[in-house]
Amino acid sequence: MVMCGLLACAAHADLTGPSVGPPDGCNPTPMSAVAVTTQQLCIHRVLVTETNASHDQNETNFSFTDHTTTMQGYVPNWWPNGGPEAGMVVTLWGHQQADGRFAVDRWIDLAHGTGPDPAGPYPQMRLIDVTSGKAPEDRMVWVRATPFALDPQDNGDGDIHVQTFEPCPAGGLTFENTPPMRGYVDRPSVNLGATTHDTSDQPSSHLGDAPPIGVPVMILGETRYDFGFGWWEIHPIRAWRFLTQDEIAQQAADCAADPVPHIDPNGPAVGGQHVPIPFGFPPCTDGSEFGSNPLYSGCGPVCYVSHTEIDKPETLSGPCDKVTPVITHDQENLPEALPNGTAGPPGNTQLDGQTTTSADGLPPSGVFSFKTREVEHITRLSTAQALARIYGPSCAARPRGLAFRRCLNRAARRASGETRG
């Protein structure tokens, strides 16, 4: 253990730029005082300088510094956390191992801003581009989406599946809240349920971290590929907020410019021919989610970020012909904020009530109290119309009415990562 002598060690890293105090649940340990231990420590406000991943979906190794001390870290439980990227200013929870690496249990980034570039350091990508594989795995992005169902995995891994769609260009995408991020999602201060840091209870007790159904939102998280379903996800959710007026106008403009649904030509094979399916529907599987099915082949390798360094383009590995690298910028001098209630001002788009669903999976009347015209246009009817637009052909044999709506909801849930019928 490095001793600080007669002088008290600094409470947190001595980076330049605007700073915030430690988040809830963090009693900061100075980097100079970190020693080998099995007890969880918190290191607050350090700069990630470089990251490396030898292959996709493995532990991310990274270097971090306070400009006095430099350490090596890694994320052993990669799936619920993902790894940071170079340039981030982060808070880390974990413990120092005998091999000199800091094993990270949880991390949060402090300088993600209030939205996509230029409001923050991360780019925005269209939902259709993420779900069709035009982003590499392990990239932080903002995505505009409208949730239509929340699916807490009470009997599973503790995640909350946030099933979303974009009406046009049409597509579905699953976002997920994970146990390590409970209470650390940066989101507006709205009455959507209590949020705590408890990781021992059911995810259905933590719906406050998830965006509400039926409302268009901007969500920040890390791109992820699920080989069990063969689709892309944003996992975990790190921040979300309501759309601005300009973003709502852009959503309408995007829909007008590209109203025809995009179809994935590489769906399951029937009679040796691939069946076109909506993007977000399982095109392949490794057998881990729904077993071996003769219609589905194994999923091939995907493009992923293998190296990042401050102010340099990502290094990509794997089949990356559709992917363009982006630069990971230095965030040290950007404004910082702590999670919960800081992802942009709630303004006039606050919601009252709870996020529940009716029998057909759509928001029952009276659940939401909409305060502005910007949010009012996403109603129960428009949600149903959007789902019919995307998944209607697969439910055409159903009589119109409740059976048709339930078919739409089941198809959308399957296409967006739902694991229960």
Looking up residue 119, the CATH number of its domain turns out to be 2.40.50.140
Q: Rounded mean pLDDT of 106-127?
A: 96
pLDDT at 384: 57
pLDDT at 407: 77
**Residue where a domain terminates, one of 49, 81, 109:** 109
Let me know how many helices (H) and strands (E) the chain has, helices first: 6, 19
- Report in angstroms the alpha-carbon separations of 25 from 163, 190, 198, 297: 30, 22, 11, 45
- pTM assigned to the model: 0.81
- Tokens representing 231 are 């689709």
Number of domains observed in the structure of the chain: 2
The domain in which residue 177 lies consists of: 115-305+343-421
Asked if the structure places residue 383 within a domain, the reply is yes
CA nearest 342: which of 21, 10, 11?
A: 21
pLDDT at 75: 94
- The model's pLDDT over 211-230, given as tens digits with 9 standing for 90+, comes to 999 999 999 999 999 998 88
- Tokens representing 90 are 């982060």
pLDDT at 254: 92
Helical (H) or strand (E) element with 376: helix 373-376
Q: If you write DSSP's letter for every residue of 148-159 in order, what string do you get? A: EEEEE-TTTTS-
Q: How many CA atoms lie within 13 A of 52 on its CB side?
A: 7
Name the range with the highest mean pLDDT among 67-71, 366-370, 405-409: 67-71
Q: What is the mean pLDDT of the chain?
A: 81
Whether residues 354 and 380 share a domain: the answer is yes
- The model's pLDDT over 314-371, given as tens digits with 9 standing for 90+, comes to 999 999 998 999 999 999 999 999 986 444 333 333 333 333 332 333 333 322 223 3
Asked if the structure places residue 265 within a domain, the reply is yes
Q: Rounded mean pLDDT of 36-58?
A: 93
Q: Rounded mean pLDDT of 107-117?
A: 95
pLDDT at 354: 32
Q: How confident is the model at residue 300 (pLDDT cuts 50, 70, 90)?
A: confident
Name the range with the highest mean pLDDT among 252-266, 329-343, 405-419: 252-266
Q: Rounded mean pLDDT of 306-310?
A: 97
Whether residues 88 and 121 share a domain: the answer is no
pLDDT at 7: 36
- Tokens representing 43 are 């290191």
pLDDT at 400: 67
Whether residues 244 and 389 share a domain: the answer is yes
Q: Is residue 194 scored above 80 in pLDDT?
A: no
* More confident of the two residues 296 and 95: 95
Whether residues 221 and 367 share a domain: the answer is yes
Whether residues 151 and 265 share a domain: the answer is yes
pLDDT at 32: 93
Asked if the structure places residue 335 within a domain, the reply is no
Strands 231-242 and 171-177, bridge-based pairing: parallel
- Report in angstroms the alpha-carbon separations of 32 from 8, 14, 28, 403: 11, 12, 12, 63
Lowest mean pLDDT among 13-27, 105-119, 370-384, 390-404: 370-384
Whether residues 249 and 134 share a domain: the answer is yes
Measured N-to-C along each axis, helices 380-391 and 402-415 cross at an angle, to the nearest 10 degrees, of: 70
pLDDT at 378: 37
Q: Rounded mean pLDDT of 140-168?
A: 92
The residues, ordered by sequence, that sit 6+ positions from 149 with a Cβ below 8 Å of its Cβ are 162, 163, 213, 357, 361, 409, 412, 413, 416, 418
Asked if the structure places residue 7 within a domain, the reply is no
pLDDT at 267: 85
Tell me the percentage of the chain whose pLDDT exceeds 90: 52
**Residue where a domain terminates, one of 77, 109, 141:** 109
Looking up residue 57, the CATH number of its domain turns out to be 2.40.50.430
**Residue where a domain terminates, one of 51, 82, 109:** 109
Whether residues 59 and 154 share a domain: the answer is no
Rounded-to-integer distance, Cα 168 and Cα 392, Å: 14
- The model's pLDDT over 367-401, given as tens digits with 9 standing for 90+, comes to 222 333 333 333 344 445 555 655 666 676 667 67
Asked if the structure places residue 133 within a domain, the reply is yes
Rounded-to-integer distance, Cα 42 and Cα 324, Å: 35
Torsion of CA 61, 67, 69, 70, to 10 degrees: 20
Count of residues in the chain: 421
